[in-house]
Amino acid sequence: MSNGKLTKYEKARILGARALQISQGAPLLVKLSEKDLERINYSPIEIAKIELEKGVIPMDIKREMPKIIKEDSETKEISV
């Protein structure tokens, strides 16, 4: 990864896609207690943020680089 950091657009895309999956019944990739879920109001966006911070979202990012170089990275390799 060129700088090892997500852009705000990449972060928004990943969070939105994962939150949609969660809202449609996908299993959570982190263990959260009932108390934690109540604290965040069972929000799919907040759950997705927690998953992204822990680096467990199984999504890849493709960045178009100059000179037709493509760069692939997994979300667990990138800091938030």
Tell me the whole-structure pTM to 2 decimals. 0.77
Is residue 71 in a domain? yes
The CATH number of residue 42's host domain is: 3.90.940.10
For the ranges 19-23, 36-40, 56-60, 63-67, which has the lowest average pLDDT?
63-67
Q: What is the pLDDT of residues 28-58, one digit of tens each?
A: 999 999 999 999 999 999 999 999 999 999 9
CA 7 from centre of chain: 12
The 3-state DSSP class for residue 24 equals: coil
Q: Residue 68 is part of which domain span? A: 8-77
Beta-carbon count within 10 A of 24 CB: 8
d(CA 43, CA 19): 8
